[in-house]
Amino acid sequence: MQIYKNQTLKIYNSIAGKKEVFKPINEGHIGMYVCGPTVYSNVHLGNCRTFMSFDMIFRYFKHLGYKVRYVRNITDAGHLVDDADEGEDKIAKKALLEQIEPMEVVQRYTVDFHNTLQKFNFLPPSIEPTATGHIIEQIEIIKEIIEKGFAYEVNGSVYFDVVTFNKTNNYGKLSGRKLEDMIANTRELSAQSDKKNPQDFALWKKAEPEHIMRWPSPWGDGFPGWHLECTAMSTKYLGKTFDIHGGGMDLKFPHHECEIAQAEASNGVSPVNYWLHANMLTLNGKKMSKSTGNNIYPNEMFTGENPILSKPFSPSAVRFFMMQAHYTSILDLSNDALLASEKGYLKLMEAITNLKGLPTGSSSNLNVDAWKQKCYDAMNDDFNSPILIAHLFEAVKHINLIKDGKESITANDKTILEETLNTFVFEILGLTGVNEDGNGNSKKLEEVVNLLIQLRNDARSNKDFALSDQIRDQLLAMGIQLKDGKDGTTFNVS
């Protein structure tokens, strides 16, 4: 179904600095590229938030009826330690430390990346190319850039000539930086540098004898610059100009700025129509950092084996927490914030469960069609998931009132409400039901509480009301409320 024909979607375009109506290059089709992980360590929770934002965006495009080619790369070579043109390759450094092959490092952490994203219920991208799988394409782009006069070779390395490029193009247009200011604020090059200008960046680096990861090229054995792989892979699979390029806010400069320069220098056209950038995740009000200990990995959240959080949290509760903030906003993770989000997530799941058994009447207190469009309006406003969630809880309120006999809903409206909730909660936000938690924690909780309910029933049958009340009160203190009814005892988690 081509829902997009009846919806107007606006996206904040970083290069324009404003929201713009989204119009794909080819009607009904979208090409989207997102910078993936450098696989030298376990996936960072902040990276998970970025990828989760684009998973939600991917899901919404698919729901609207677009045919989406979503490309998310794996950086398995060329990413240097200082994110510039000096230092060791991050993967090669890890391999040297552990005395294993670089591709063993890549395999280990690629598997961890995929396993973690699977727990968070991510949809896989259409294509997941690797830097090492596209060395030939990168070399060909370098040849084109040299031929057009925008790059130069020195001692086996090739550098992009930013000053020459800026004479006919605008280096800095994505990040809002001016080359003149960058030059004025840069120290002079050291005598050992092969660069003409400090702003120039590597397209190909000469591999010193001790460098493990190396490939033959017209300029000698070496390895590609970090920025080049994304230009090679995005244009190969999406064309010289494509719809959307996404990534973390920290990649805007220099990584994405360099991508634009490389693509314009080689192809003569601007590569991307809409640039989207997701913001960072902080922990207890501070930047996440392994060196300071202010850091937590996804699996540590799921198991509870960490010194920061008071309990384990399911992947869906964490995903719900992240969806409660707009993807362009800084989000601070804390124990209290997660507890509050978990409570909201459980209330939402409970309402969806209760909706199935609601009685229907001759009229509805909720204008379901208008409410449904409000949900679309939220997502059409630059994928505004927090506003969407606020609308979802409007529906939760009405479900609870209907359940208590204070409001009513027609059979037709109930069907629409149920379908819409399922669409936005599960299909678009990517949440899973409580009993579908990847760790099985929620299912285990249900089994334990049902066991306690049985023990309480036995105590009541034996007229041991003190034990019966103790079980009920202690569960209530833990946020688990028992409800006795004609069909037995049920429970809610608050």
pLDDT digits (tens, 9 = 90+) for 436-465: 654 445 556 778 888 999 899 998 899 999
Per-residue pLDDT tens for 140-186? 999 999 999 999 999 999 999 999 999 999 999 999 999 999 988 87
State mean pLDDT over 306-317. 94
Averaged confidence pLDDT in the chain: 93
Lowest mean pLDDT among 203-207, 248-252, 289-293: 289-293
Q: What percent of the chain has pLDDT over 90?
A: 80
State mean pLDDT over 410-420. 98
State mean pLDDT over 465-493. 84
State mean pLDDT over 308-331. 97
Residue 7 has pLDDT above 70, yes or no: yes
pLDDT score, position 250: 94
Q: What pTM did the predictor assign?
A: 0.88
pLDDT band at residue 476 under the 50/70/90 scheme: confident
Per-residue pLDDT tens for 353-379? 999 999 999 999 999 999 999 999 999
The four Cα atoms 87, 89, 94, 99 give a dihedral, to 10 degrees, of -100
Q: What percent of the chain has pLDDT over 70?
A: 96
State mean pLDDT over 191-210. 89
pLDDT score, position 329: 98
Residue 227 has pLDDT above 50, yes or no: yes
State mean pLDDT over 106-119. 97
pLDDT score, position 437: 55
State mean pLDDT over 394-409. 97
